[in-house]
Structure 1
Amino acid sequence: AKLTKVSVTWEKKDLSGLVYKYQNAAPVLGDQNSQFKGRTQLFPDALVTGNASLLLRAVRSTDAGVYTCAISSSTAGGKVNINLRTAAFSAPTFNVLDGNLVATASRWFPKPHVTWLKYDNKVLNGITNFTEDTAGMFSVVSKLQPVNISDTYTCRIENNLVTAVSEATVTGVSGVSENTYFTYSAASSLLASTYLSIMTTVLCIYYLT
């Protein structure tokens, strides 16, 4: 299909104006909602394969919601809903302070839950404090006591979108070696779900065929 025959429109539920429109081989942004100004683009070279991905820059928590992508060409067309859910997450850092193993994570959204586990998956009692900033982001400080040198502890920080699993080994009275990996919630069976970290600057939303 020639690019001049392809039209793509991105809209967001309950939002006036458009998120993005592409028609006649060029962006058509006269009706674009002001909150998306300068933050969106398509990939014209990919349109010929049916890929109407939207690149959304400088993602914000307010970008969460249901988006509709409509694509049409001279031979076919279709529409899909995508539920965009936003999350902020960061790997914790660890240190030993006064016999406590302390995990500190600077940015989480939505508010997470923290669980400490021993190597045998026994749940341990930790003390967790949350601080919310004016943007709704949460910083996490969680303490576990007592801890033993050479023992490994698992710290899980999780909300309904993202889980950070950290293994922290106490190497000395003030030293800790650590490793963190992230897992993400499964997509809804009814709506395609895209997850993002609002600490990053770029998000691609994919048109699903």
Structure 2
Amino acid sequence: MDCYNMILLYTLQSQPQLIGPSQALVARAGDDVILPCHLEPAYDVSTKTLEWTRSSLDPRFVYVSRASQELEKLKNPSFKGRTSLFVDELKYGNISLKISKVKFADTGTYKCFIPDLEKEALVKLVVGIDKNRGGVVLQCESAGWYPEPELLWLDGEGNLLSAGPTETLRGPDDLYTVSSTVTVEKRHSNNITCRVQQRNTNQSRETHIHLKRTYRTLKKRFVFVICYLFVICVFVFLLNRLFCLFVNKCLKLELFLYIEQNYNSC
């Protein structure tokens, strides 16, 4: 390896990389959510221009700051008062975005971008709506297709899920945009896949969604474990008491026989 290539390789390795999550994030409508985005190794961006955008919005800016000061005039009105950065963490390269009280319409792909460094990372967010029966409504959308594709929902085992009708929109450029919603119930696995495919061209795209267990589910499991352990402790305690009573009875019987034998010998 010549000197120029070694210098170039060292330069590329020493540059910080912008890191985002590898899987789509899932949030319930009304909750607060954090879109992770950070530089590795740590790099001070407190004096840089930072942008969070979503290409499907107009204006596309979800959050913009320059030298740690937010430029709220550029922000899309639907996100006013709902997005913020962790300003104290910017010196460590943490550019994660907090969205408060997420809405179903917040579903989409967000871009974390640092213009000065020409670094970017994508974060997919899926916002679900809780149903009374314990299900969550998920939405999937994909654009830029020709001819018209099909959209499928799959569970963790690859089985098709029953979903609502696929909505198809054909743009002025003759490209198709498809979208669909599905209600995921408790009986389904936590891993859900949205797949858009075009059979004629053998093209496909898919997004994997991991549904985290809700606090209510974890609370029920915790209560069950506590009750189970309590029953076991009570059982062990009673068994120990019975064993002690049995041993004491045997000792008393032996002592009585011993005294009786000594008395008879006298």
> The TM-score by the shorter chain falls in which range?
0.3 to 0.5
Which is strand-richer, 1 or 2? Answer: 1
TM-score (norm 1): 0.45
TM-score, scaled to structure 2: 0.37
Determine which structure has the larger helix proportion and give its number: 2
